[in-house]
Structure 1
Amino acid sequence: MSFRPRDLADRMARRADAPDGFVREKFARPREEARAKARAFLEKYPPAAYMSEVESWRELRNGGIEFTMRRLRTAD
């Protein structure tokens, strides 16, 4: 059974929409504000309870940082 790249892309696109239980919030801030925002997020939603983390980040052309924070909806 052979697969085309398009088949794989379609499968991955369907999976991306599947709920995984995490809430994601995306931010774009200057570098120091980004650090403060991430720190505040982790204090509000502690990783031990919410599995919170910086999911992804990138440096913008203007020197700022764009990042995505994720956490579970509720803590146990």
Structure 2
Amino acid sequence: MARLPAGPPLDGLKRQIARHRSGNPRGNDGLFVRETFRLDRTDARQKAQEWFDAWPKAAYWTEVESWRQLEGDQIEFTMRRLPSAD
């Protein structure tokens, strides 16, 4: 009878499932400050610009980490930045 090869290691998948079940699907890398907003399109642009003005990208690595368009012209987005500049 032929032996089947061993399957791939599942450690990464197990860690991802554990993070999701603990209520922290992105993991807590401790490196970035993140804040999620749900605003209409105009206010969302203004809020993102406030973040870039307060924490410049070059020093704080500020960026829109993720975003999605919801019903009624609402935008949900997550901003992220370093907690302090060097």
- What TM-score range do you get, normalising by the shorter chain? 0.7 to 0.9
Deviation per residue, 1:14-50 (Å, 9 max, x gap): 5742424001000000000000000011100000000
Are 1:56 and 2:56 an aligned pair? no
Are 1:68 and 2:68 an aligned pair? no
| Equivalent position SS for 1:62 | helix
Structure 1's 11 and 56: CA in aligned 2 closer, same or farther, altered over 3 A?
same
Are 1:9 and 2:13 an aligned pair? yes
Q: TM-score, normalised by structure 1?
A: 0.83
Q: Which has the higher contact order (CA 8 A, sep 6+)?
A: 1
Structure 1's 25 and 62: CA in aligned 2 closer, same or farther, altered over 3 A?
same
Structure 1's 74 and 13: CA in aligned 2 closer, same or farther, altered over 3 A?
farther
Task: For 2:41 and 2:81, locate their aligned partners in 1 and report how far apart those are by CA, in whole Å.
Answer: 22
Task: For 1:33 and 1:22, locate their aligned partners in 2 and report how far apart those are by CA, in whole Å.
Answer: 23
Consecutive aligned runs of 4 or more in structure 1 exceeding 3 Å deviation: 13-16
Q: State the percentage of identical aligned residues.
A: 45
Unaligned 5+ segments in structure 2 are: 1-5, 20-25
Highest Rg: 1 or 2? Answer: 2
Structure 1's 14 and 71: CA in aligned 2 closer, same or farther, altered over 3 A?
farther
